[in-house]
Amino acid sequence: MSINILANWLAQNGFAVPTNAELVEAAVAGTLTVVALAIGYAASRTIGPRLAHLAEARAGLKDGPFQPRICAIVRHLTAAILLAVIFTSAAWRPYASLPVGLALSAASAMTTVALLRGANLSRWIAWGVAGFVFAALFSYSVGGFTPITTTLDRIGVDVGSNRISLLTVTTLAIASVAIYAIARLANRVISHAIGNARGFDATQKLLFQKLAGIAVVIIAFFVGIDMLGIDLTTFAVFGGAFGLAVGFGMQKTIGNLIAGIILLMDRSIKPGDVIVIGNSVGQVNKIGVRAVSMITRDGKEHLIPNENLMTEEVENWSFSDRNVRVRIPVGIAYSSDLKLAQELMLRAANESPRVLKSPKPNVWLTGFGDSSVDHEILAWISDPESGVGNVRSDVLNRLWWLFKEHGIEIPFPQRDLNVRSWPAACPAGD
């Protein structure tokens, strides 16, 4: 009864009344659509958590927005693939293609939203692209995609010999968003893989991560150019102008870039090293494209051009070994007990918390000065990034109280005056 009522309504409104064969075909298509959606849901409950765990452990996606959306991506993507197979496996008639096309368009749109949001793109971009995907696929499934593209292509302007239409702008926007999302996700996965590689040290990992990032950008650029059908010969003039700019105005910039790559390759300076350049001592914070960031003990961040580190003399206190020897000069009076004073110097150094026990401190007698017997305490530390002046201060403070306790005098400048003769006394009465 209800089928007859539907058939009468369709006939009254000018629609073709489906035959029994078309209704059976539509029922089969609807059943297959439901099965595909159910398989997608089951995949999200079984395969999704495993992929999420794998992405967290192997791809470094734990803290980002992509890992929590993996189950949703698996669900919608699985359903979209199955629905695409169903849609292309037979020549469905309109009433049968409608449920399959509608479900395929919705699943593809939801997959797009999950992927773009997982790539940390804004909500409006993700939903905008998803809306375009839904409209395009649904129009294609019901046979109305060509009129849409034709209409979009008609809306545009001619610029010289080229035509910029709404279809071109839309295609460019969609392709750019897709390439950006894929490149960003690929860069993060590759960087994590390089960071966990056991065969590289920290400097090599940083170098390969930077080179991988540049390679991803270059590949994404050429893939986008190929997708959009842009002729690379149009960049010939731009390339020549860029070459002239490098030759005349960007020599320093390119030089600093190459110097930075060389610094990373030869591993002479790496983040965390304590270096001395000129009169500045500090810890390397990061190695950038143009300059090296060095933070001093005063909290000041110095940006040193990479070329300067290649051409000037640089002390690296932690290049091959993080142990650094600190020299602390001390003078005692000539009247002091020399052996006791040296024992107190060693005691003060050993009691300082930052001084290493191995290599153990040592005391050298360096000379006999005008007013003092000169010594030098040699103490080793393993954390030069925490400064060396505070180590000297701590050892000298301890030594001051030890000298006062044991009667060791700290000299002050003294001068002996030798009078060869006194002037003759004046006669009385003069």
Dump the DSSP string for 28-96: HHHHHHHHHHHHHHHHHHHHHHHHHHHHHHHS--SSSSSGGGHHHHHHHHHHHHHHHHHHHHS---HHH
Q: Do 61 and 44 meet the contact criterion of CB atoms below 8 Å apart?
A: no
407: DSSP letter: T
Mean pLDDT of 283-311: 81
One domain, residues 134 and 182: yes
Predicted confidence (pLDDT) per residue in 107-125, tens digit: 888 888 887 777 777 777 7
Closest to 328 (Cα-Cα) out of 279, 367, 363: 363
One domain, residues 289 and 332: no
pLDDT of 327 higher than 80: yes
Query: In this structure, how many other beta carbons lie within 10 angstroms of the beta carbon of residue 365?
Result: 11
Q: Assign 24 a pLDDT band (cuts: 50, 70, 90).
A: confident
One domain, residues 111 and 42: yes
What are the start-end ranges of the H helices in 249-388? 251-266, 306-311, 338-351
In a domain, 270, yes or no: yes
Report the pLDDT value the prediction gives residue 330, as an integer from 0 to 100: 92
Report the pLDDT value the prediction gives residue 125, as an integer from 0 to 100: 78
Predicted confidence (pLDDT) per residue in 154-190, tens digit: 666 666 566 666 666 777 777 777 777 777 777 777 7
Mean pLDDT of 25-30: 78
Dist. CA 405–CA 419, nearest whole Å: 38
Report the pLDDT value the prediction gives residue 393, as an integer from 0 to 100: 92
The residue that leads in pLDDT, 430 or 419, is 419
One domain, residues 265 and 284: yes
Q: Are strands 274-277 and 162-165 parallel, antiparallel or unpaired?
A: unpaired
Closest to 299 (Cα-Cα) out of 276, 278, 282, 275: 282
One domain, residues 272 and 387: no
Dist. CA 116–CA 124, nearest whole Å: 10
Report the pLDDT value the prediction gives residue 306, as an integer from 0 to 100: 81
Report the pLDDT value the prediction gives residue 5, as an integer from 0 to 100: 55
Mean pLDDT of 227-232: 63
175: region left, alpha or beta (phi > 0 left; psi from -120 to 50 alpha) = alpha
In a domain, 423, yes or no: no
Compute the mean pLDDT over every residue in the chain, rounded to the nearest whole number: 76
Q: Assign 1 a pLDDT band (cuts: 50, 70, 90).
A: very low
What are the start-end ranges of the H helices in 267-388? 306-311, 338-351
pLDDT of 396 higher than 70: yes
Number of domains in the chain: 3
Q: Which CATH number covers residue 357?
A: 3.30.70.100
Tokens matching residue 163: 């035509």
Name every residue whose Cβ is closer than 8 Å to that of residue 36 and which is 6 or more positions away in sequence.
79, 82, 83, 86, 103
The residue range of the domain holding 360 is 324-406
Q: What distance lies between CA 286 and its chain's CA centroid?
A: 11
pLDDT of 408 higher than 60: yes
DSSP letters for 306-330: HHHHHHS--EETTSS-S-EEEEEEE
Tokens matching residue 377: 């305490």
In a domain, 247, yes or no: no
Residue tagged 């966990």 (tokens): 196
In a domain, 248, yes or no: no
Out of 316, 342, 363, a domain closes at 316
Report the pLDDT value the prediction gives residue 398, as an integer from 0 to 100: 92
Q: In the beta sheet, which residues pair with residue 330?
A: 375
Tokens matching residue 349: 């150094």
In a domain, 88, yes or no: yes
Name every residue whose Cβ is closer than 8 Å to that of residue 31 and which is 6 or more positions away in sequence.
none
Q: Which CATH number covers residue 268?
A: 2.30.30.60
Name every residue whose Cβ is closer than 8 Å to that of residue 387 and which is 6 or more positions away in sequence.
297
Report the pLDDT value the prediction gives residue 217, as an integer from 0 to 100: 76
In a domain, 16, yes or no: yes
One domain, residues 359 and 271: no
Tokens matching residue 5: 């009522």
Sign of the dihedral defined by the CA atoms of residues 134, 137, 142, 143, in that order: positive
One domain, residues 151 and 294: no
One domain, residues 331 and 297: no
The residue that leads in pLDDT, 20 or 7, is 20
Mean pLDDT of 286-297: 81
Stretch (H or E) spanning 268: none
One domain, residues 381 and 341: yes
In a domain, 263, yes or no: yes
Q: Are strands 280-287 and 274-277 parallel, antiparallel or unpaired?
A: antiparallel
One domain, residues 170 and 282: no
The residue that leads in pLDDT, 425 or 192, is 192
One domain, residues 77 and 171: yes
Report the pLDDT value the prediction gives residue 263, as an integer from 0 to 100: 76
Query: In this structure, how many other beta carbons lie within 10 angstroms of the beta carbon of residue 16?
Result: 10
Predicted confidence (pLDDT) per residue in 237-259, tens digit: 666 666 666 565 566 777 777 77
One domain, residues 54 and 175: yes
Predicted confidence (pLDDT) per residue in 204-216, tens digit: 677 777 777 778 7
300: DSSP letter: P
In a domain, 240, yes or no: no
Residue tagged 């007698």 (tokens): 365
pLDDT of 311 higher than 80: no
Examine residue 359 and say whether the peptide bond preceding it is cis (omega within 30 degrees of 0). Answer: yes
Least confident of 49-58, 83-92, 324-333, 359-368: 49-58
Q: Are strands 373-381 and 324-332 parallel, antiparallel or unpaired?
A: antiparallel
